[in-house]
Amino acid sequence: MMHKYLVLTSLIVLLATQIGCDKVQQIVTPKVEQNTLKIGFIVTGDRASYLNGAQLAVDEINTLGGILGTPIELVSFINTEALLPLSIQMTEDLILKDKVIAIVGPNRSTHAVAVGPIAQQHGVPMVTTAATNPDVTGAGDFVFMASVTDTFQGKVMAQFAIEELRITTVAILTLSGDVYTEGISEFFAFNFSNFGGEIIANEFYDSRTTDFTPQLTRIADAKPDAFFIASFSDEIAAITHHARSIRMQNVVGNPTIFLGADTWDNEELLSNEDAEVEGSFFTTHYSPDTDEPTARAFIDTYQSIYGEVPTGGIAVNYDAVKLLFEAIERAGDLAPEAIRDQLIATEDYRGATRIKRYNENRHPTKSVVILTIKNGEKQFHKQIDP
């Protein structure tokens, strides 16, 4: 155990030199000293690996002396079944009972939209992680995003489909009742139509659906050039498997191309034997093939510790913690208003991803990466800068 700690510490030092209840699991990082600064961390769904990204940032910061000379304690909750009332209760507990100085997360837009008003009400800075819907900052000026917005992500994929893939017709399948899935479909459809494409099928399903036959049959009958799927990993696997089994094709007999967004950047999707995603394209937060020095340092250190390449979701969890740290260091103060003001003033942040600045809605100006799946592996295709 001590050996692993020494290895972790060595890797964190290297990185720092380059970067400067059944349904709820609570994980509290062991305290380095009696006095610590607590940061709340919320994960929704079965995304425990997101905690690894946040914890890596915390360990790095503590190796450098903590925040204003005080170690950080990450108080973490994993809402494995993604139940919205639990995320709300978590946020209240972190603020009122644990007295955290800031909230990092949640990663799902539906949950971020719901808990943002709690952070705003109590004047606690909050930086969401993989939540991408632009409405997550709607609660007020204490709520920020670390990820790219679906406004930009949807536009990028629509333009890419039209201009590079030469797609003219698209079918869409959306999980209904979720802020993220409904939002990304809407932004993609709006932009695809504006660029001259045609939406020839627009289907929905609810969270209880296990048989997608009616929706996929109507989509297959429409013969789209591309099929945009707004869902989460398990359902993406089932949907793509069924779509390929019925030989979904366009009007000239070519296989329909599958398109998606950042939820496709998921280690469980490629390892799912049912998934039929070869040749697909999707947008996400970054590429692990990047040669950016700070991102490369993050990837190499993470892989050395955890034995796997971090996804884009893990990367933005790391960045959310680092953004908070840098804002507090610039402020030289733990006052919530001072932290908020320095988050707003962020310029040219470089970590696992890069943020040029924040706009008036506290949305980051940052790039989107398009990945494709070839030979069963994610491969970098291109980066789109704002």
The confidence score (pLDDT) of residue 130 equals 97
The confidence score (pLDDT) of residue 47 equals 83
372 occurs within a structural domain: no
Token readout for 135 is 């409405």
Q: Cis (ω within 30 of 0) for the bond into 364?
A: no
**Tens of pLDDT along 145-180?**
999 999 999 999 999 999 999 999 999 999 999 999
The confidence score (pLDDT) of residue 34 equals 53
Q: 155 and 133 share a domain? A: no
215: domain CATH number?
3.40.50.2300
22 occurs within a structural domain: yes
The confidence score (pLDDT) of residue 48 equals 86
SS (H, E, C) 286-319: CCCCCCCHHHHHHHHHHHHHHCCCCCHHHHHHHH
CA dihedral sign, ordered 378, 265, 365, 169: positive
Look at residue 267 and tell me whether its pLDDT is greater than 70: yes
From residue 29, give the alpha-carbon distance in Å to each of 37, 40, 56, 290. 12, 11, 12, 30
Dist. CA 266–CA 186, nearest whole Å = 22
**Tens of pLDDT along 247-259?**
999 999 999 999 9
Q: 143 and 15 share a domain? A: yes
Look at residue 28 and tell me whether its pLDDT is greater than 60: no
163 occurs within a structural domain: yes
Strands 281-284 and 368-374: antiparallel
The confidence score (pLDDT) of residue 8 equals 39
Dist. CA 338–CA 342, nearest whole Å = 6
**Among 7-21, 186-200, 254-268, 292-306, whose mean pLDDT is lowest?**
7-21
- Whether residue 287 contacts residue 295, with contact meaning beta carbons closer than 8 Å, is answered with no
Domain containing 262 equals 151-284
Structural domains of the chain, count: 2
Boundary residue ending a domain (284, 307, 324): 284
